[in-house]
Amino acid sequence: MASHAFRPVTHHHTFAAHPPALSVAPGDTIRTHTVDAAGVDADGSRVAARGNPLTGPIRVEGAEPGDHLAVHLNAVTPNRTHGFGRASLAPGVLDPDFLAEVGAEAAHDGAAWQVDAGAGTVTLTHPSSPIEGLVLPLAPMLGCIGVAPAGGQAISTATSGPHGGNMDYRRLGGGVTVYLPVFVPGASLFVGDAHALQGDGEMSGTGVEISADVHLTVDLVEGVPIGWPRGEDDTHRFTLGNARPLDQATQHATTEMVRWLMRDHGWDAATAGLFLSQCVRYELGNMFDPAYTVACKVPHDALARVGA
Amino acid sequence: MASHAFRPVTHHHTFAAHPPALSVAPGDTIRTHTVDAAGVDADGSRVAARGNPLTGPIRVEGAEPGDHLAVHLNAVTPNRTHGFGRASLAPGVLDPDFLAEVGAEAAHDGAAWQVDAGAGTVTLTHPSSPIEGLVLPLAPMLGCIGVAPAGGQAISTATSGPHGGNMDYRRLGGGVTVYLPVFVPGASLFVGDAHALQGDGEMSGTGVEISADVHLTVDLVEGVPIGWPRGEDDTHRFTLGNARPLDQATQHATTEMVRWLMRDHGWDAATAGLFLSQCVRYELGNMFDPAYTVACKVPHDALARVGA
Amino acid sequence: MASHAFRPVTHHHTFAAHPPALSVAPGDTIRTHTVDAAGVDADGSRVAARGNPLTGPIRVEGAEPGDHLAVHLNAVTPNRTHGFGRASLAPGVLDPDFLAEVGAEAAHDGAAWQVDAGAGTVTLTHPSSPIEGLVLPLAPMLGCIGVAPAGGQAISTATSGPHGGNMDYRRLGGGVTVYLPVFVPGASLFVGDAHALQGDGEMSGTGVEISADVHLTVDLVEGVPIGWPRGEDDTHRFTLGNARPLDQATQHATTEMVRWLMRDHGWDAATAGLFLSQCVRYELGNMFDPAYTVACKVPHDALARVGA
Amino acid sequence: MASHAFRPVTHHHTFAAHPPALSVAPGDTIRTHTVDAAGVDADGSRVAARGNPLTGPIRVEGAEPGDHLAVHLNAVTPNRTHGFGRASLAPGVLDPDFLAEVGAEAAHDGAAWQVDAGAGTVTLTHPSSPIEGLVLPLAPMLGCIGVAPAGGQAISTATSGPHGGNMDYRRLGGGVTVYLPVFVPGASLFVGDAHALQGDGEMSGTGVEISADVHLTVDLVEGVPIGWPRGEDDTHRFTLGNARPLDQATQHATTEMVRWLMRDHGWDAATAGLFLSQCVRYELGNMFDPAYTVACKVPHDALARVGA
C-alpha cells in the first residue's frame, strides 16, 4: 500500500489506453493534481491545450476486463484562488421558442470567481452585473473521472459513457468512492476538470473552473463486472448513466441500480422495483455535453432497515 | 377570508372547466379530503372509478386568464391506515435489453403498506418478499394538483401539462405553496391522488396510495401570467415542467425559472444563466405517465445573498 | 349506404364527444368541406376562431369502444385559390446553437401561395425573396383527422394522440383509407386543417393552408380494437404513432405494426421482426406540435409475396 | 487520376487516424472489397473479428481539416451468395409495455438469405417460419462509411457521429456521392459493413449482411468545411445527422441542410425555412446503435425551379 506523489507531464484529451504515466498496486494512495479545463495549472501557466486535459493514465496492476476499480476520492482541493466560467444559458436547456426570442443576449463575457479554500467560499468578481459579489459555499469536485473504454476506443473529454468521462456530477468530490468498470488490462484511470463549485447540469457548460490537488486511493475488485460507473458517499449509494436523452441516461442508471440490488442482496427484479419505487432519488449531472448524466440514488439507511 | 369544510360528492377524472363543486374567495381556507387513486375513501368505500379521481373543481372568485393562483398546502394528512401500491419496475425506466431479459418477472402482485400517522411511518406488510416489514418515514403529498387547461381541453388525470395535473412531485405536501396559471374564469382548481410516501419518478406507477385530509388556502395573484406550475417551500423556489422526454420537461422548467428571475429581479437572461449555472438543482417528479415532470430549483438562501 | 351533403355550422377546436353534427350509418358517404387553419372558408369569410377548427363530429351509428372506423378519403380538393403559411424555421427542428445564432432572423412575414387545382400546382406569390415564384406540385391532404379520445378527454387540435388529431402526415389525402380506434359510442369523427401541399414535419408549423372539399366514406369494423391510427394506400399499409420524442412515436408506430402483422397473419413477434427488418419504411408527419407523428410502413407487395 | 486495386489486410474496428493502408490522390479511383459485419470474406473465411471490421484507412493526399471529401460510390456489389441477419425485433423500437409482454419471444435464431446478384434478389432460406422463401429485391449499400473523427478520438464501428460511421442509411449504395468532413490530415477514409438489403432503421440490428466489392472515386473539396455527412443521388441532396434521440439527429440534419442552402444559394435562414417547409423529406437510417441516423432530403427538381 504505497503512497505515490505524481506530477503529471502529459495531459491527454481522450479517455483511451494511452501509455501509463504512473503504475500503482491495488490499495495504493496517490497525491497528484489536475490542471483546469483550459489547461492552466496552479501557477497560472498554460501547460496543456484547452478542453478538459486529463491527469493520467494511472495503470492499476492486475486490473483486467471484468474487474472494477474502487477509487476513493480522499480529497479534492482547489490549489489556487482564481476560478472562471461562462456567463450564459446553455441553449440545450431552454425552450426553443425562448431561445429564438433571446438569442445571443443569453451570453455575457466570461465570469471570474475568487476562491477562498480557508473560508470555504467562492465569490463572483466579474462581470459587473446585478449579482456581482455573490458569495457561495465552496464544494469542490471532479468534472472528469474515468478509464479507457472498450473496443480500442478513444473518447473525448467533452463527453461521457460507460467508462465515465466528463460526467460533471457534483457529488464526485472528497469523501466519495467511485466504482469504474475495467475494459483494458491496467484499467487506465484518469482524473481532471475540477470545479470549486457547480450547479446541477453544469448548465452554462462550466462550473467554477479551477486547478486542484487530488488525493485518492485505488482498490481493485476482481471478477465483478459492472456496467456503468457507481459510487457511494456517507448517505447513499448511486449509479451513473450517461446518454441522451435524459430518459435513456435514466434507464441506464436505474437498470444498473437494479442489477446492483439483485446481485448484492439476492433480490428478484420485482423486489428491486418495490424498494426503489418508494426510496429512489434521482439527480442530474452534466446536461451540456453530447451525453447527459443521471444519478440513481438509494439511501444506505433504507437498505440497512431490510438488512441489506 | 372564510373557512370552508368541503365534502366532495362528484369526482372527476379530467382537469377541465367542470361545474364548480365549491366557490371560494381569494384568501379563503378549505378543509377537504381526497379519495385514493382507486377511488376508495377513508372508510374503505369505493366512491369513484379508479384512475386518480379528483376533489373539485373549486371556483376561485375573480380569477381570470392571465392571473395565477397561490395554493398554500397547509397540511396533507393520510386519513386511514391502509396504503397500497404496485410491486414492479416501470418498463419505461429500464434499459430495453434488460426489460426483454426479465420480461414479466419484473412484477409481483400489489403491495400493501401500514400507515401510522402518529409514529410517522409506513410499513410494508405485503407481499412476502426479502423486504417485507420495511419501515420508511411518512412523507405525505398530493400526486395531482392543477386547474382547468386552456382551449376548452379536458386532460386526463393520468398525465400533466402547463395546467399541472398528475405531476407526482414529492415536495407537493404540507408547507409548500403551489402557483398555478389561470386559463378559465374561476380557475377550476382540483386536488387528488395523495401518497403517504413516494420515491422520485413514481417509478412503479404508484407511491403508497391513500386517501387524505387536505387543508389549503387559496390566494389570487392578478395580472401576472405564469407559463408552468411554480412553487416555494422553506428552502427553495421551484418551477415544474411537464413533457417527454425529460430533456423537454427540463427545458420548460428551466425557461420558466429564467423568466421568473428576469421578471422578479430585473435580470437579463445572461445574469440568470450565470446565477443558475452555480446554484440550480433539478429533481424528478413523475416518470411513468405520458408526460414526465422535472423540477428546477433555486435556494432562497442564494437569492437572499444578492438581495433578490 | 346513403350519401350525405353536410355543411358544417359549428367548428370545434378539440377532439371530444361533442354533440353530433351529423349522424351516418356504416357505409355511408359524406360530401362536406373544411375551413382553413385560421377559420376562413372558401369564400374568404372567417367563420371560426383560428387554430385548426374542425368539421364534425360525425356520429357513426353502432360504433362502440373496441371497434374501429375505416375512413375512405375519396377526395380532398382545395376549394379556393389562395393558400397561406409561415415563412420560418421551426425552432424545435434546429440545433440549439444554430438557433441562438440566427435567433429571430429565422422568420419572415407570412407566405402566400396561389393554388391552381386544374393545373395541379401551388405557386409562391409572397414574400419577395429569392424563391418567389416557386412552383410546386399540388398534393392536398388533411392535417387533422381523428375521433373523440378515451376517458372523457377533450384534446386540442394543436396536438395528436391515439385518437389521431393534428398529425400532418402528407399521405392523408385522396385515395387513402384511415383506420381510427373507437373510444366512445358513435366514435365522433372529425376532419380539418387541409393543406394544398406540405413537406415532411410541417416544419414551419404550416403547409399551404387552405379550405377544401372533402369526400369520404365511413365503414365500421366491429369487435377489432386498434391501438393507434392505421392506414392503407395503393402501395403500403401504415401505422401512426403520436408522441415525443420521435423515438417514442416510432415505438408506438412499430408496435402497432407488429400487432397488426401478428393478428392478421398469425405471425409470432420474431417473424414480424424478421420481416420488418428488411421491408420497413418510416416517414415523418408533424414535428411542430407537442406530440410528433411517425409513420411505420410496409409495402403490400412484400406482404403479397408471403401470401399474407 | 490513378486507379487503385486495393486488397485490405488489416481491418480496424474504430474510425481513427490509424496508419494509412492506401494513399490516393484526389480524383483517384479505388477497387476494393469489404468483409461482412462478422469479419467473413467472399470465400467464407473469417479474416477479422466481428463487429463491422473496416476497409481502410485510405489517405487522401492533401486533405486537411476544413476541407471535405466527395466520395463517389460507383458500385457496391455483393461478392458471394450467402447473407445472414438476426431474426428479432430491436428492443429499442418497441413500446416498453409490449416488450415486457413478449420478452425473449421476440427473437429467433439467426436468419440466412440467398443472394442472387444476377437476378437482383435476396431469398430467405432460414429459419423455417411463415415467411420462409420470401423473395425481395436486391439493394446493396454500405452500413459504414466515414473518416477519422476530430480531437484524436477513435470511435467504434458500432456507432456514428459527425465523422459518419455506422449510419446504415439504405441510400448509401452505388450511384450516390457521399460528402464527409475532414478532421485530420489525409482524412483517413473507411468503408465497411455492406448489406445486400436493409429496411429503414436496421431495426433488428442487421440488414442482409454480406461481403462486397466496392468501386469508388474520391475527390477533395478544399476550404469548404461541412458539419455532418452530406450526399447526393439522382433525385435528391441529403444531409445526415447522427445522435439520440431522433429529435436531435433531426436537428443536426436539418441545420446542416439549412447551412448548405444558405451558403450555396445565398439564402437567409427564413428563405431556407420557407423552402423546406413545403419541400423537405426525412428518412431514417440506423435506429439500433447508441446514435441514430436521420436524413434530411431536398429534391433537385425543386431547387432547379428556383434557379438554385
Q: Residue A235: how many CB atoms within 10 A of its CB? A: 12
**Residue A198: its chain B contacts at CB < 8 A?**
277-278
Whether the CB of A247 is below 8 Å from some CB of chain B: the reply is: yes
Helices (H), chain C: 96-102, 246-265, 269-279, 300-305
A10-50 confidence digits (pLDDT tens) = 999 999 999 999 999 999 999 999 999 999 999 999 999 99
DSSP per-residue string spanning B175-234: T-EEEEE--STT--EEEEEEES---GGGTTS-SSB--EEEEEEEEEETT---SS-EEE-S
Average pLDDT over residues D117-127: 94
Whether the CB of C246 is below 8 Å from some CB of chain A: the reply is: no
Supply D47's cell numbers: 479474416
Which of D84, D86, D88, D93 is the best substitution to test chain C (most C C-beta atoms within 10 A)? Answer: D93
Q: Grade residue B1 by pLDDT with cuts at 50, 70 and 90.
A: confident
**Residue C261: its chain D contacts at CB < 8 A?**
none
Q: How far is CA D282 from the centre of its chain?
A: 16
Q: How far is CA B87 from CA B128, B140, B203, in A?
A: 11, 19, 10
Which pLDDT value is given to residue A128? Answer: 85
Chains that touch C (3 or more CB pairs under 8 A): A, B, D
Closest listed residue to residue B233, CA positions, set B278, B186, B297: B297
User: Beta B212-221 vs C14-15: how paired, if at all?
Assistant: unpaired
- As a whole number, the mean pLDDT across chain B is 95
Average pLDDT over residues D55-65: 98
Average pLDDT over residues D240-261: 97
Average pLDDT over residues C131-154: 97
- ipTM over the 0.85 cut-off: yes
DSSP per-residue string spanning chain D: --EEE-------SEES-PPPSEEE-TT-EEEEEE--TTSB-TTS-B-S-SS-PEEEEEEETT--BTBEEEEEEEEEEE-SSEEEE--B--GGGS-HHHHHHHGGGGB-S-EEEEEETTTTEEEEEES-STTTT-EEE---EEEEEE---STT-BEETT-EETTEEE---TT-STTEEEEEE--STT--EEEEEEES---GGGTTS-SSB--EEEEEEEEEETT---SS-EEE-SSEEEEEEEESSHHHHHHHHHHHHHHHHHHHH---HHHHHHHHHHH-EEEE---SSSSEEEEEEEEHHHHHHTT-
Q: Do A266 and B305 touch (CB under 8 A)?
A: no
Residue A72 pLDDT > 70: yes
- Using CB atoms, which residue from B96, B103, B106 is nearest to D92? B96
Whether the CB of C302 is below 8 Å from some CB of chain D: the reply is: yes
- Chain D, window 86-115: residues with a beta carbon less than 8 angstroms from a chain C beta carbon: 86-90, 92-96, 98, 102, 105-108, 111
Least trusted range by pLDDT, from B147-156, C80-89, D253-262: C80-89
Residue C103 pLDDT > 90: no
Burial of A20 per CB tally in 10 Å (0-12, 13-18, 19+): middle
Residue D145 pLDDT > 70: yes
D222-235 confidence digits (pLDDT tens) = 999 999 999 999 99
Q: At what angle do helices A269-279 and A246-265 cross, to 10 degrees?
A: 120
What is d(CA D2, CA D243) in angstroms, rounded to the nearest whole number? Answer: 37
Query: Position B146: which residue type?
Result: G
B196-211 confidence digits (pLDDT tens) = 999 999 988 899 999 9
Average pLDDT over residues C134-154: 98
**Residue A199: its chain B contacts at CB < 8 A?**
276-281
Average pLDDT over residues C193-216: 96
A206-226 confidence digits (pLDDT tens) = 999 999 999 999 999 999 999
Chains that touch A (3 or more CB pairs under 8 A): B, C, D
**Residue C92: its chain A contacts at CB < 8 A?**
96
Average pLDDT over residues D269-293: 95
What percentage of chain A carries pLDDT values higher than 70?
Answer: 98
- As a whole number, the mean pLDDT across chain A is 95
Q: Residues for chain A: how many in total?
A: 308
What is d(CA B121, CA B103) in angstroms, rounded to the nearest whole number? Answer: 32
Average pLDDT over residues A228-232: 98
- Using CB atoms, which residue from A197, A244, A250 is nearest to B278? A197
Which pLDDT value is given to residue B298? Answer: 98
Higher pLDDT, B89 or A85: A85
Which pLDDT value is given to residue A102? Answer: 85
Supply B45's cell numbers: 368505500
Closest listed residue to residue A21, CA positions, set A192, A212, A188, A194: A188
Q: Do D135 and C206 touch (CB under 8 A)?
A: no
Average pLDDT over residues C98-107: 78
Looking at CA atoms only, how far is residue C215 from chain D in angstroms? 24
Residue C267 pLDDT > 90: yes
Average pLDDT over residues C302-307: 89
Average pLDDT over residues A61-70: 98
**Residue D245: its chain B contacts at CB < 8 A?**
245
Does residue B143 contact residue B193 with C-beta atoms inside 8 Å?
yes
Q: Where is C84: in which H helix or E strand?
A: strand C82-85
B31-80 confidence digits (pLDDT tens) = 999 999 999 999 999 999 999 999 999 999 999 999 999 999 999 999 99
Q: How far is CA C219 from CA C15, C73, C240, in A?
A: 20, 11, 19
| B108 Cβ neighbours under 8 A, 6+ residues apart | A270, A271, A274, B87, B88, B127, B129
- Chain D, window 273-292: residues with a beta carbon less than 8 angstroms from a chain C beta carbon: 273-284, 287, 292
Average pLDDT over residues D131-144: 96
Q: Grade residue B185 by pLDDT with cuts at 50, 70 and 90.
A: very high
Closest listed residue to residue B78, CA positions, set B227, B220, B238, B198: B198
Q: Do C251 and D94 touch (CB under 8 A)?
A: yes
Average pLDDT over residues C267-295: 95
Closest listed residue to residue B248, CA positions, set D82, D248, D127: D248
What is d(CA D256, CA D264) in angstroms, rounded to the nearest whole number? Answer: 12
Chains that touch D (3 or more CB pairs under 8 A): A, B, C
DSSP per-residue string spanning C287-308: -SSSSEEEEEEEEHHHHHHTT-
| B118 Cβ neighbours under 8 A, 6+ residues apart | none
Looking at CA atoms only, how far is residue C156 from chain A in angstroms? 20
D67-81 confidence digits (pLDDT tens) = 999 999 999 999 999
Higher pLDDT, C271 or B108: C271
Q: Residue B49: how many CB atoms within 10 A of its CB? A: 12
B218-245 confidence digits (pLDDT tens) = 999 999 999 999 999 999 999 999 999 9
Average pLDDT over residues D150-170: 98
Average pLDDT over residues A235-241: 98
Which pLDDT value is given to residue A106? Answer: 65
- Using CB atoms, which residue from B108, B202, B265 is nearest to A270? B108
Q: Do A93 and B281 touch (CB under 8 A)?
A: no
Does residue C175 contact residue C233 with C-beta atoms inside 8 Å?
yes
| B247 Cβ neighbours under 8 A, 6+ residues apart | A92, A244, A245, A246, A247, A287, A292, C245
What is d(CA D90, CA D284) in angstroms, rounded to the nearest whole number? Answer: 15
Q: Do A287 and B202 touch (CB under 8 A)?
A: no
Which of A20-24, A264-268, A272-276, B105-109 is most confident?
A: A20-24
Least trusted range by pLDDT, from B124-138, D101-115, D285-299: D101-115
Q: How far is CA B40 from CA B16, B80, B120, B209, in A?
A: 22, 11, 22, 10
